[in-house]
Structure 1
Amino acid sequence: MARHKVEYLTDIQERILRCIRLAITNQGDAPTLAEIATAVGIRPSAVHYQLRELEAKGAVVRERHQPRGIRLT
């Protein structure tokens, strides 16, 4: 089984991943971008940027046009 290697993550990226992981564990689904922004304390535009970075690093997969379309790898 191939394993994805996640490159170095910034503190904010770690916090976003923790937020996503907790939401999936507790609610059964990923948070919305607005929920991530509120939980982490950043603007929604910054969440967009960080999720693109996390996707490029292989930490998440995003399902386009889905409000809760974030999956951990």
Structure 2
Amino acid sequence: MTLTERQLRIIRSARDWIATYGEAPTVREPAAAVGVSSTSSISYQLRRMREQGVLVETRGRRSGRCPYCGQ
């Protein structure tokens, strides 16, 4: 498994975010840390890393719905 420099920077930024804030970053935080304005580019990199077995946790936008019943 070979990760690109950008993927390594995404991993580092996600780890730093978790160490600082105690929760997973949104997709926008690693994008800003890596210097990419497109969140779809980061999503693509995260998908490629998952395919290689590297998981980087991110959190989504909160919907305000109950996670159990959906209301």
TM-score (norm 1): 0.72
Amino acid at match of 2:30: I
Contact residue 24 and residue 57 of structure 2 kept, 8 A: no
Per the TM alignment, residue 38 of structure 1 is displaced from its structure 2 partner at its CA by: 1.0
State the partner residue of 1:52: 47
Contact residue 55 and residue 62 of structure 1 kept, 8 A: no
Alignment of 1:1-73 (within 5 A): 7-42=1-36, 43-60=38-55, 66-67=59-60
| Richer in strand (by share) | 1
Contact residue 17 and residue 23 of structure 2 kept, 8 A: yes
Larger Rg: 2
Q: In percent, how many aligned pairs have the same letter? A: 42
Amino acid at match of 1:12: R
Segments of 5+ residues of structure 2 without an aligned counterpart are 62-71
- Once superposed, what is the RMSD of the aligned Cα atoms? 1.9
Per the TM alignment, residue 61 of structure 1 is displaced from its structure 2 partner at its CA by: 5.5
Structure 1: which 4+ aligned runs deviate by more than 3 Å?
Answer: none
State the partner residue of 1:71: none
Aligned residue-pair number: 60
Contact residue 30 and residue 42 of structure 2 kept, 8 A: yes
Segments of 5+ residues of structure 1 without an aligned counterpart are 1-6, 69-73
